[in-house]
Chain A
Amino acid sequence: MNKWEDNKAWLMVIPVFLVVAVSAIVPLMTVVNYSLQDIFGPDQRVFVGVEWYKDALTDPRLHDALKRQLLFSSLVLLIEIPLGILIALMMPKKGWGASLSLVLVALPLLIPWNVIGTIWIIFMRPDIGLLGAAVNGLGIPFDHTASPFAAWVTVMLMEVWHWTPLVVLLAYAGLQAIPEAYFQAARIDGASVWSTFRYIQLPKMRGVLTIAVLLRFMDSFLIYAEPFVLTGGGPGNSTTFLSIYLVKLAVGQFDLGPAAAFSIIYFLIVLLFCWLFYQALLKVGTGDKS
């Protein structure tokens, strides 16, 4: 075999390399470049090494934002995944009911993110908001602009309402893909509803649930638009998540160097967690137990 013949394959891959380079690698490298310099203006910059990284890693406000972020993402996963599976299990499997429920469930996914923030601001207003006024009417003081707890509840409600549908759609697709014979066999084996779920439906949904967990983790970890519109990170710093803090740093104070270092750290954290989740979910239900 001619060596040129073998190497010709590289020609085919070059277009993809170019696209990836322009869309991902070049911007990323630019950020890496920024993160190592102190930037005063377009032509004024000083190389500072890992100075910004040291600053970022010891910044107590960043630590607080990271803790908030982890708490938020954990709550999102803990609520949305089981809730999504539950709703998917209850949805009709065929007929017009199936199509109708799919459309209804998918509605929140079709709304622009900043609009969602606005919807919830109005919805939760203590004076005229449907839910906010109702809760206050019951004698429970509830104002997401004043109380950190109320702000958290509101952000969580909004997030669950907005993104559980994605988990529902994925879980529903997973459930629909299970051959009927499994359910017939389970009936003949005398399996209860719980056993059928535990030993057939849940294991068969493993693939789609892995994707659901990864997507929901990444998205919730990067959440910006909705809390920015709803609370702007407040009251105080109580809903200042990583991305909100990052934007404050980069846009508000125009500290490009520290913001770039922060971005890289942020990126690595997301990457690390996704890798951990992926590894863990791969192992669930595959190893031999003896």
Chain B
Amino acid sequence: MARIDLKELAHSYLSKPAGETDYALRKMDHVWEDGNAYALLGPSGCGKTTLLNIISGLLQPSEGQVLFDGKDVTALLPQERNIAQVFQFPVIYDTMSVYDNLAFPLRNRKLPAADIDMRVKEVADMLELNDVLHKRAANLSADAKQKISLGRGLVRSDVAAILFDEPLTVIDPHLKLLLRRKLKQIHARFKLTMVYVTHDQLEALTFADQVVVMNEGQVMQIGTPQDLFENPQHTFVGYFIGSPGMNFLPCRMQNGIADIGNHEILVGNDTETLDGNFMLGIRPEFLKLHPQAVQGSLPVAVKAVEDLGNCKIVTVQLAEKTLKVKLSEEQELPAERSFLEFQSQWIRIYADEKLVGNGVKKQARLELEK
């Protein structure tokens, strides 16, 4: 197991990158702690697979270093890095039995046969592959094949980290849940450093201790699922995480009050010092709809209601801007004219897409004020 350091890492697929936009991965510095489960989350083409392949050594970064436990491995080949990687589509060796598939990485490393046998049986046990151990791998179902790919990663006792590249894409939904739980169990039991690439936020949030949200080759935020939900450090995170994503309203801030045109919203908390044009963000979960006016509420027109079965998504219009509100299933359907309440402790203020008001961590806040 290892801690992974990314030092001034950047990558471009072009031989002579001219500007920022030529980089698939923009310069980044991160430390990923030993034994944690990380999820790399972002839309397609944001550079998450590039980053994963750089960590595993399949790709040489054009700039910067990758360190495992402080040791520079940037120039090492994948097989020298002691890394395991599971791919989007199950990769199995068709002509081999399940047993031989699992034993393959160990045989390539010339381990004694008795050790191989022990490890293979242990892993087969863990992944519930015992019944098919001597069957030909080619004839199995997709999820069993993906388990074999996973098993080939787990079979080596000395791997520095296990990397997953959207491993559950081809698996049936109900088996997805089982396999994901299996992964969590394995993580809890062996304390492996795991990095999991996905564009499915549910998968990322349920799998990982720390979620790395990426966009356009940059890491936007690394945080726990709760952190990402409550304190998105960047408007992209607010918009990308959550379903539906965060609402944003342009506003003028003065004395802790946000002016959004013809209405004023009290924000308070640590935003008194902010003065000028900002972006106000609030999650649909933290908006309330009332049939009558309450203190601080604003009149809105209800445009649409989507009933998702376990909640209702209401689209409301507030002075030219539309907002989404998430209501619990028990709540009454709102009337056409309702009153919208902003829960001020959940309002986040952004400048240049970055979080500047409310919910900024103390350390970051101190730096901001300097």
Contact = CB atoms under 8 A, between A and B. Distances in A.
Binding between chains A and B? yes
A288 B79 contact: no
A187 B78 contact: yes
Nearest to B87: A181
A175 to B, nearest CB: 15
A185 B108 contact: no
A179 B89 contact: yes
Contacts of B21: none
A190 B108 CA distance: 6
Interface residues of A, number: 22
B93 A199 contact: yes
Interface in A153-191: 179, 181-182, 184-185, 187-191
B108 A288 contact: no
Given A181-B87, A288-B135, A288-B139, A188 B78 contact: yes
Nearest to B108: A190
B358 interface: no
A2 interface: no
Interface stretch (B94-102, B201-209, B317-325): B94-102
Interface in A266-290: 285-290
B180 to A, nearest CB: 21
Contacts of B85: 184-185, 188
Interface string A196-239: 00011001100000000000000000000000000000000000
A23 interface: no
B58 interface: yes
Contacts of B53: 184
A185 B91 contact: yes
A30 interface: no
A180 B319 CA distance: 52
Given A181-B87, A290-B135, A187 B93 contact: no
A289 B109 contact: no
Interface in B80-123: 83-85, 87-89, 91, 93-97, 104-105, 108-109
Contact of A204 (B94, B97, B105, B136): B94
Contacts of B152: 185, 189
A184 B139 contact: no
A184 B153 CA distance: 13
Nearest to A284: B95
Residue with the highest number of chain A CB atoms closer than 10 Å, among B77, B95, B134, B136: B95
Contacts, number: 68
Nearest to B153: A188
A180 B91 CA distance: 10
Nearest to B58: A184
Contacts of A182: 91
Contacts of B136: 286-289
A288 B136 CA distance: 6
A195 interface: yes
Contacts of A289: 97, 134, 136
A192 interface: yes
B94 A187 contact: no
B91 A181 contact: yes
B105 A190 contact: yes
Contact of A199 (B56, B89, B96): B96
A5 to B, nearest CB: 38
A185 B95 contact: no
A289 B88 CA distance: 28
A190 B79 contact: yes
A193 to B, nearest CB: 12
B104 to A, nearest CB: 6
A192 B94 contact: no
B338 interface: no
Contacts of A191: 104, 108
Contacts of B93: 199-200, 203
Interface in B37-56: 53, 56
Contacts of A189: 79, 104-105, 108, 152
B13 to A, nearest CB: 14
Contact of A187 (B58, B88, B135, B149): B58
B94 A290 contact: no
A6 B89 CA distance: 42
A179 B84 CA distance: 18
A288 B94 CA distance: 11
Given A181-B87, A185-B149, A288-B139, A190 B94 contact: no
A181 B94 contact: no
Contact of B88 (A181, A199, A288, A290): A181
Contacts of B105: 188-190
Nearest to B84: A188
Nearest to A204: B94
Contacts of B139: 288
B152 to A, nearest CB: 6
Interface string A83-114: 00000000000000000000000000000000
A288 to B, nearest CB: 5
Residue with the highest number of chain B CB atoms closer than 10 Å, among A184, A191, A290: A184
Nearest to A287: B136
Contact of B87 (A184, A285, A287): A184
Nearest to A290: B134
B134 to A, nearest CB: 5
A-B CB proximity, top 9 nearest: A190-B108, A185-B91, A190-B79, A181-B87, A189-B105, A199-B93, A203-B94, A290-B134, A203-B95
25 contacts: A179-B91, A181-B89, A181-B91, A184-B53, A184-B58, A184-B78, A185-B85, A185-B149, A185-B152, A187-B78, A187-B79, A188-B56, A188-B58, A188-B78, A188-B83, A190-B109, A199-B93, A203-B93, A203-B95, A285-B94, A285-B138, A288-B136, A289-B134, A289-B136, A290-B97
Given A199-B93, A203-B94, 16 more contacts: A181-B89, A181-B91, A184-B58, A184-B85, A185-B87, A185-B91, A185-B152, A188-B84, A190-B109, A192-B108, A199-B95, A199-B96, A199-B104, A203-B93, A286-B138, A288-B136
